[in-house]
């Protein structure tokens, strides 16, 4: 049925959802394939398949998605972490100095700081999001992956979370973000899986997709230690505009990093000592 509706991963989706509904892993599902299924179980499977046919992703139905080798629980307020963002994690793990302090703006499931801190046991961090519901999920994920004692959470719009006690009181060695960067017009053209199920707040970057970057570029240096860096994920066609924004606000050594598909994916910039 899923296949006939054009779902490219129909067979895999059906297996994952059936396994989830019946509480069986892939091996158990394969070995018990010929066993009869109780009516109530069959109804549960049919219910999940129906949701998939309406466009909801397998990860949302199951309630979690794997990212950088870790499983992240999702709720309605969190974006599903995407493989695209794994490049940002690799760069952040390398960029953080020993004992470094990380700030993540717009944390969603918390996938960025949790994946970084899980791989850097010397580092600590602060994660913020404007959505309190997303932050709740991020805190659950931090506990699940054993980094809750090194990661603080604070609600607020962009830098508000770290400026409540006075501008620049908190300084960080690395500021990271995967902000919403889709233009409001393009949003309407996206696949139902994204448009109808990922939260708008996590996608909409305003009329030109750059609104969050303007705020981040204009304020990040106030919260960076001298020599600190900023690393932000970007859309494939935003490299030159966002490079210009960071240059305008005094960042040095600005580099556009390409992903495995050769597309612009992350921008880094440095707050030089003494500047
Ligand atoms: C593209 S999602 C990224 C989520 C997560 N960091 C990831 O990579 O999967 C952007 C996030 O920014 C948050 N956000 C949107 N507007 C915000 C604002 N004004 N201040 C702080 N966070 C905001 C959204 O709630 C969402 O969690």
Cα atoms in the 13 Å half-sphere on the side-chain side of 104: 28
Superfamily of domain 65-270: Vaccinia Virus protein VP39 (3.40.50.150)
pLDDT score of 156 more than 50 = yes
- Mean pLDDT throughout 174-198? 93
What are the structure tokens assigned to 34, written together?
């010929």
The model's pLDDT over 93-117, given as tens digits with 9 standing for 90+, comes to 999 999 999 999 999 999 999 999 9
The model's pLDDT over 26-37, given as tens digits with 9 standing for 90+, comes to 899 889 888 888
The model's pLDDT over 193-227, given as tens digits with 9 standing for 90+, comes to 899 999 999 999 999 999 999 999 999 999 999 99
- Mean pLDDT throughout 78-90? 97
Distance from Cα 99 to the centre of ligand 1, integer Å: 26
Predicted local distance difference test score (pLDDT) of residue 10: 85
For the CA of 80, the closest atom of ligand 1 is: 9
Pocket test residue of 65, 76, 79 for ligand 1, highest count of atoms within 8 A of CB: 79
4-13, 163-172, 259-268 — most confident range? 259-268
Residue 232's pLDDT band, with cuts at 50, 70 and 90, is very high
69's CB contacts (< 8 A; 6+ apart) are none
Nearest CA to ligand 1 atom 12: 106
Predicted local distance difference test score (pLDDT) of residue 170: 78
Residue 2's pLDDT band, with cuts at 50, 70 and 90, is low
Distance of alpha carbon 115 from alpha carbon 78, whole angstroms: 16
Predicted local distance difference test score (pLDDT) of residue 166: 45
DSSP characters for 159-214? THHHHTTSTTSS-EEEEEE----B-HHHHTTS-HHHHTTS-GGGTB--TTS-HHHH
Residue 235's pLDDT band, with cuts at 50, 70 and 90, is very high
CA 29, chain centre distance (Å): 31
Distance from Cα 127 to the centre of ligand 1, integer Å: 11
Binding-site sequence positions for S-adenosyl-L-methionine: 106-110, 129, 158, 178
7-21, 179-193, 228-242 — most confident range? 228-242
**pLDDT-above-70 percentage for the chain:** 94
Pocket of ligand 1 contains residue 177 by CB under 6 Å: no
Pocket of ligand 1 contains residue 194 by CB under 6 Å: no
Residue 192's pLDDT band, with cuts at 50, 70 and 90, is confident
Pocket of ligand 1 contains residue 48 by CB under 6 Å: no
Distance from Cα 138 to the centre of ligand 1, integer Å: 12
Pocket of ligand 1 contains residue 79 by CB under 6 Å: yes
The model's pLDDT over 157-170, given as tens digits with 9 standing for 90+, comes to 999 988 654 444 57
Higher pLDDT, 190 or 169: 190
Predicted local distance difference test score (pLDDT) of residue 3: 63
Predicted local distance difference test score (pLDDT) of residue 6: 67
Pocket test residue of 133, 141, 201, 232 for ligand 1, highest count of atoms within 8 A of CB: 201
Distance from Cα 105 to the centre of ligand 1, integer Å: 7
Ranges in the chain annotated CATH 3.40.50.150: 65-270
Nearest CA to ligand 1 atom 26: 202
- Mean pLDDT throughout 254-270? 97
Pocket of ligand 1 contains residue 235 by CB under 6 Å: no
Task: Answer for the pair 176, 151: CB distance below 8 angstroms, yes or no.
Answer: no
Pocket of ligand 1 contains residue 114 by CB under 6 Å: no
The model's pLDDT over 120-144, given as tens digits with 9 standing for 90+, comes to 999 999 999 999 999 999 999 999 9
- Mean pLDDT throughout 223-239? 97
The sign of the torsion formed by the CA atoms of 19, 143, 181, 199 equals positive
């Amino acid at each position: 049925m899923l296949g006939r509706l054009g779902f490219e991963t129909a067979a895999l989706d059906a297996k994952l959802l059936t396994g989830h509904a019946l509480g069986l892993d892939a091996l158990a599902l394969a070995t018990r394939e010929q066993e009869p299924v109780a009516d109530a179980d069959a109804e549960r499977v049919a219910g999940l398949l129906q949701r998939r046919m309406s466009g909801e992703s397998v990860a949302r139905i199951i309630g979690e998605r794997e990212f950088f080798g870790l499983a992240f629980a999702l709720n309605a307020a969190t974006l599903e972490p995407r493989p695209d963002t794994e490049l940002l994690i690799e760069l952040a793990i390398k960029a953080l100095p020993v004992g470094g302090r990380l700030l993540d703006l717009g944390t969603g499931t918390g996938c960025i700081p949790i994946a970084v801190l899980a791989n850097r046991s010397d580092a600590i961090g602060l994660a913020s999001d404007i959505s309190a519901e997303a932050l709740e999920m991020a805190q659950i994920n931090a506990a699940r992956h054993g980094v809750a004692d090194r990661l603080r959470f604070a609600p607020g719009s962009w830098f508000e979370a770290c400026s409540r006690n006075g501008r620049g009181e908190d300084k960080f060695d690395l500021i990271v973000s995967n902000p919403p960067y889709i233009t409001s017009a393009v949003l309407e053209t996206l696949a139902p899986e994204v448009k109808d199920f990922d939260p708008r707040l996590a996608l909409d970057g305003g009329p030109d997709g750059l609104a969050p970057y303007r705020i981040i570029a204009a304020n990040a240096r106030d919260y960076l230690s001298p020599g600190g860096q900023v690393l932000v994920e970007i859309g494939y066609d935003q490299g030159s505009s966002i490079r210009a924004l960071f240059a305008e606000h005094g960042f040095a050594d600005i580099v556009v990093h390409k992903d495995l598909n050769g597309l612009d994916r992350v921008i880094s910039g440095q707050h030089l000592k003494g500047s």
